[in-house]
Amino acid sequence: MTIASTLGPVMADVAGTALTDDDATRLQDPLIGSIILFARNYESPAQLRALTAQIKALRSPQLLIAVDHEGGRVQRFQEGFTKIPPMRDLGTLWDRSLEEGRMAAREIGYVIGAELGAHGIDFSFTPVLDLDWGASGVIGHRAFHRKPEAVAELAGALIAGLHEAGTVACGKHFPGHGHVRADSHHEIPRDDRNREEIFADDLIPFALLAAELDSIMPAHVIYEAIDSRPAGFSPVWLQQILRKDLGFDGILFSDDLTMEGASVAGGIVDRAEAAFAAGCDIVPVCNNLPLCDQLLAGLQSRGYVVPVGLAPRLERLRYRGNAAAMQDTRYRAALATLAKFDLI
């Protein structure tokens, strides 16, 4: 039975390749508005389509479904999907030919959007806008390039491809995770550069693409010259710099609240409240279903009310492409172009 509800700010996940009874019960909580899938949720294209159909049948409006599908080592669905190269390969191509680099980036965006949309996925958390400083192991070849202008050019082309395919883009990790060595999944990273250094490099791709990005995910990194809080918990970064100064008006995702970089805010409910207070619209809670249940109960006990305007804003993230796009000539042409550049 489909439950009439609204879309809430919590992004949850599910246990396996089909919904359990516990999953179905949890996903009917009105505080949940979206789902993120992982490799454990994938066996085959047919299984994935069945799972996303199960999820979408639970609620009206339907829950949004997302995935980390950047390419390289961050691509949750493998067999049956085009193997997307790491974004650094696009930077290498751009160094040889600006035109070919941009062309390839757009085609990769189109392929990602077409393939995900055909399997019931609304969007991917891509592109990565971090700079390749050679310092961060967790970013590494996920970054397009060291030069911010190259990152903006390539990411802008990839965004255009995503949009052409009917899906949206999420730029991450604002204002740039690439300069710090610590991995925010396991540590609390601190960037000790001054404001001028950050703004002259890492912030540039976000500034240049603010009008094209549908959503942004801030980093669980503390930029000590700007604020003592991680960017995702900082009204200075999100409300003053990103919203007011850069003019960004899309959706703001917190990074995963279970990461160690989020621990500075306290327990799981405190983390969510800190993200909301800073300006985040959606708070993902990943790979820890008991902690997700704790967050849902804690928000309810503290009297949290879903903002009236949240559901219409989240509708901007819904896939609007052709679910049969993988059968058309545009998709085949994109694959042919990527093969010509030895990217697939």
Instruction: Give the catalytic positions in this structure.
Output: 185, 255
Please state whether beta strands 10-12 and 32-37 pair in parallel, antiparallel, or not at all (unpaired).
Answer: parallel
How large is the C-alpha radius of gyration of the chain? 19
Q: What Å distances lie between residue 79 and 47, 84, 176, CA to CA?
A: 12, 12, 31
Report how far residue 262's alpha carbon sits from residue 221's, in angstroms, rounded to the nearest whole number. Answer: 9
Report how far residue 109's alpha carbon sits from residue 165's, in angstroms, rounded to the nearest whole number. Answer: 8
Please, which residues have CB within 8 angstroms of residue 48's CB and are 6 or more apart in sequence?
37, 41, 42, 77, 119, 120, 121
Runs of H (alpha helix) within the chain:
21-27, 45-58, 87-96, 98-118, 148-165, 195-200, 203-209, 235, 268-278, 289-301, 310-314, 329-340
Q: Is 305 exposed, middle or buried (0-12, 13-18, 19+ CB in 10 A)?
A: exposed
CA 106 to chain centre: 18
Give yes or no for a contact between 258 and 212, defined as CB atoms under 8 angstroms apart: no
Report how far residue 136's alpha carbon sits from residue 154's, in angstroms, rounded to the nearest whole number. Answer: 20
Hey, is 128 helix, strand or coil? Answer: strand
Cis amide prior to 189 (ω within 30 degrees): no
Q: Is 264 exposed, middle or buried (0-12, 13-18, 19+ CB in 10 A)?
A: middle
Please state whether beta strands 74-75 and 69-71 pair in parallel, antiparallel, or not at all (unpaired).
Answer: antiparallel
Beta bridge partners of 242: none
Q: Which residues of 46-70 are buried (b: 16+ CB within 10 A; e: fewer)?
A: eebebbbebbbebbebbbbbbbbbb
